A and B are shown apart, each in its own frame.
Chain A
Amino acid sequence: MSKTVSIITENFGKYDPSSIDSYLSIGGFSAVKKALAMSSGEIIEMTKKAAVKGRGGAAYDTGRKWAQAASVKGDEKVVICNADEGEPCTFKDRSIISKDPFRLLEGMIIAGYTVGAKNGYIYLREEYRHLKPLLLNAIQESKEKGYLGDNILGSGLSFHIHLYSGAGAYVCGEGSTLIESIEGKSGRPRIKPPFIKECGLFQLPTLVNNVETLAIAAAFIQHGVEEYLSHGTPDSPGTKIISLAGNVKNPGAYEIPFGLTLREIIYDIGGGIPDGHELKLFQLGGASGKVGDASILDTPYTYEALAKQGLVVGSGGILVVDDRTRVIDFVKSVQDFFIHESCGKCTPCREGNRQIAKIIDRFVDGDQRQDDLQTAERFANIMKNCAFCGLGETAQSTLLSAINHFPEEFGLEVAASEKH
């Protein structure tokens, strides 16, 4: 596993995650101490230097986001840690929470201090409820030792962390929907404007960050950005925890430097496809991500190189599918996912998913009608353009990219030179 690194994951296995004393013994909470000795502006400068794109998938520059959040006027601000991790084939946040919960809390405290928030909320997906006691304990012990609460370490900073539970809804991973859930309602996304950064949780200015983003912040505050920046590429500096799964010998959450190729990830780290099977396709970024095939395996895993191929880093999920799965069955299981997860409130997503699912079912059974493909593409485009939120917009990404990469599986005849 020499291709993996350990900056974000450096504490994994090095301490007992249920004990703050164990964490302190390896230098824990030194990031918070360092941050409290810096100004908000200095921290923002460091974060901008680290150029960390939001790790939930939206990839918005964290330094810029923190700068915006800090500049919003208001005494009552809120930081939310998005631990909803609902994207299929994504379990990196689970690793961080289960193996290094205190670092996550440090990241939240630092974010709160930087933007001027007094309260932090962790929204933990229900499927990780077995990690709730661990997190609650970490919060409690941190309070007892003075790292949370009023007047943290005598600095005058007040920061409290509250743990809220999700209840099985992927759409609650979206910022405004998550906020609706913490407010005790069903998860239907909010109209924007107003934007969350001005009017979010309880109508307060709100900063939402992914678990991994917050963990990285704690890491480079603790050690400085230089080591972090020594990895990766000039355009995509640093490291990322990927979630590699599917038909690979060694599925798992691995921290890699940006710039490794997909081939290296799947075959070196992942150990390749088991039982002598061949790679059929891979999906990057979870169910809302597009698919790629073996022809682009040498693409470096960076935001830019992937974008050139029409792909995204997204949540960092890398799903490997071999020749045992038909493309159409793969597309169907993605469609099933979105039928289950759509919130249902807007026409294009609710009805578009309903109709496209029927068409895909016909393809699966082999009795598709002549105009079915055209109809599916038409309504997939309507969803992409007119849906209320990102779920509806990206639900058909897989279908559209599958049609593009594997036209023959949809009954389209394509000259060999055209196929990409």
Chain B
Amino acid sequence: MKNIKIKIDNIDLVVPEGTTILEAAKKVNINIPHLCYHPDQAIKANCRLCVVEVAGSKKLTASCSSYVFEGMDVQTNTKKVRDMQKGILELILANHDQDCLKCLRNGNCELQALCQRFNISKTNLEDTVDALPLDNTNPSLVRDSAKCVKCNRCVDACQKGQEVHVLTHSHRSIHYNIAPAYEMPLEETFCVFCGQCAAVCPVGAIVEKDDTAKVWDAIYDSDKHVIVQVAPAVRVALGDAFNLPKGSIVTGQMVAALRRLGFNHIFDTNFTADLTILEEGNELIKRVTEGGTLPMITSCSPGWINFIEGRYDHLLDHLSTCKSPQQMFGALSKSYYAEKAGIDPKKIYTVSIMPCTAKKYEANRPEMVTNGVQEIDAVLTTRELARMIQSAGIDFTGLEEDQFDNPFGIGTGAGAIFGATGGVMEAALRTAYEVITGKGLPSLNFTEVRGLEGIKESTVHIDGLDLKVAVAHGLGNAKVLLKQIDKGESPYHFIEVMACPGGCIGGGGQPIKSTMDVKQKRIDAIYQIDADLPLRKSHKNPDVMKLYDEYLGEPLGHKSHELLHTHYHSRGMKYNFGELTK
């Protein structure tokens, strides 16, 4: 790799061939302004904010898409450059809803930050916000075209990242817009509500549906018994919102904050993650030994469920019938817990804190009902929880650590790793191995299924059975495995699929600016939690054992089926063209 000598703002530096001006500038602590650039995505070069002066060129040069050459002389802050950048920002603002106080991204918005940097506000340009109607009819996401800066980050996430291909740019010139085909609301498309679009949006054009008001109301309602469960991926990400180092483990403070917010009890979703392993592990063993549909595919990722129910609805039998940990908890909260606490299920308000926007959709499913009431009453993303804590004036970093409550307070390391891609698989293997062989595992670490590679494979030898497993994260990778199944060529017994790249720690509801670097830190933190816990196997969770003894009976038993298992159905969004060509 050749090394190239260049000058940026009169500073000499040497960078490898193939470095862009934008990247080179970062190396000498210069942040060239940009909006459409995202380190995990393809270069787009359409906002034109990153223009710089390059000696020898009459026009300005976009630094995100231009590569260094020997002797290149770049100026990033000349009067001409700054005037142009200010002008471009003014153009964006003139077609942008400037009612920041009402926006969920107020204070956490890249456009605001840029305007502040250049000291820009309303200009002499005519405000002409040319927008499509608000799209807020689905439970998970809100799209507000009036705030869209047309950077195309969401399009990249939906098309190249997730390969769902719902969002696209369309029309041209002043009608250019980002929307689904025929400007349909997301609810009428194959959108899986994974929220990867919201996770990369620089402004408030795509945000999570905010359910904090609902939850505040429930907490104020003396008639309601409000309990909350928290997903494994939240505790390694929540700290981002309070300026703690990325990947900080903030479990204790998180519980303390929830306590202060006024929840009656605070529970750990890791508990039901363990429970899921008991059910799903036994389900897998049953399918393998009794000739059930294989490969079996995990079912805890609602974005993934939406995907397969939409596009591959002929393969639904491959899904595990287990509900997700969120929903298993919800079901128990309105049955087992209600009975144990002596409270009418109708008065129990169950909230879940999730890294995920699709969980809101999942909670809303008509089949997710137990004892006549919805299992989960509200889902808050990590971002919403952060806002609630800030809104309540709680000084998060100063809190003394607190602990989850009984009877759903204990989660093993196996439950904790659900938050990372490969975690469900590893947790299942830890239990399946010991249940089948009756022996202890030499090592609990199945490292072959860990890490950020799109598709991971492993073969585990369990008493003469060569269990072939695969792990996919990101729906594009899931598609590869599904196509294999379609062709009858899948070599696997068991597949874990997480819709979001990185797994739940990279979910669409996590704090903004979760780049791949940040995701790696969260994954490291998750496996640290696992390594530090005294209990690391789901079948050793004493409270899970108690639950079976006291209430459920045995895995896959009658009670389990009633409460902890579900069924799937086609989303019915495809035209049945076959009827026309009969």
Contact = CB atoms under 8 A, between A and B. Distances in A.
A347 B84 contact: no
Contact of A379 (B43, B51, B87): B87
A371 B124 contact: yes
B47 interface: yes
A350 B176 contact: yes
Interface in B39-54: 43-49, 51
A191 B172 contact: no
B171 A388 contact: no
B169 A348 contact: no
Given A343-B176, A345-B150, A355 B48 contact: no
Scoring A171, A342, A350 by chain B CB atoms within 10 A of each residue's CB, the highest score goes to A350
B150 A350 contact: yes
Nearest to B171: A344
B60 A385 contact: yes
Interface in A324-364: 339-348, 350-355, 358
Given A351-B94, A375-B124, A388-B46, A342 B60 contact: no
Nearest to B126: A358
A348 B172 contact: no
Given A354-B95, A358-B128, A346 B47 contact: yes
B119 interface: no
Interface in B452-503: none
Interface of B is mostly: loop
Contact of B174 (A188, A193, A350, A393): A350
A348 B126 contact: no
Contacts, number: 103
A385 B173 contact: no
A374 B59 CA distance: 21
Contacts of B95: 351, 354
A355 B94 contact: yes
B48 A344 contact: no
A352 B91 contact: yes
Interface of A is mostly: helix
Contacts of A371: 124
Nearest to B92: A347
B394 interface: no
A171 B171 CA distance: 13
Contacts of B65: 191
Interface in A384-412: 384-388, 393
B60 A344 contact: no
Contacts of A346: 45-48
B175 interface: yes
B48 A348 contact: yes
B211 to A, nearest CB: 34
B181 interface: no
A191 B45 contact: yes
B91 A345 contact: no
A378 B90 CA distance: 12
Interface residues of B, number: 37
B125 interface: yes
A188 B80 CA distance: 27
Interface string B54-77: 000001101001010000000000
Contacts of A350: 150, 173-174, 176
Given A191-B43, A345-B46, A385-B60, A351 B173 contact: no
Nearest to A386: B48
A339 B88 CA distance: 18
B169 A345 contact: yes
Contacts of B84: 382, 385-386
A297 B130 CA distance: 44
Interface string A209-241: 000000000000000000000000000000000
A81 interface: no
B48 A351 contact: no
B174 A344 contact: yes
Nearest to B175: A344
A343 B171 CA distance: 8
Contact of A347 (B46, B126, B169, B170): B46
A169 interface: yes
Contacts of B45: 191, 346, 388
B538 to A, nearest CB: 48
Interface in B14-50: 43-49
Contacts of B67: 193
A382 B86 CA distance: 10
Nearest to A171: B172
A342 B91 contact: no
Contacts of A375: 124-125
B172 A347 contact: no
Nearest to A349: B173
Contacts of B51: 385-386
A388 B36 CA distance: 13
Contacts of B124: 371, 375
A352 B170 CA distance: 19
Contact of A343 (B44, B47, B59, B173): B173
Contact of B47 (A347, A354, A378, A385): A347
Contacts of B128: 354-355, 358
Nearest to A369: B124
A240 B172 CA distance: 34
Contacts of A358: 126, 128
User: What are the 9 tightest A-B residue pairs by CB atom distance, in nearest-first order?
Assistant: A344-B176, A351-B91, A342-B173, A382-B87, A344-B172, A386-B48, A346-B46, A344-B173, A385-B60
6 contacts: A339-B173, A342-B172, A346-B48, A354-B174, A358-B128, A382-B91
Interface of A: 169, 171, 186-188, 191, 193, 339-348, 350-355, 358, 371, 375, 378-379, 382, 384-388, 393
Given A355-B125, A385-B60, 5 more contacts: A191-B44, A340-B173, A348-B48, A351-B95, A388-B45
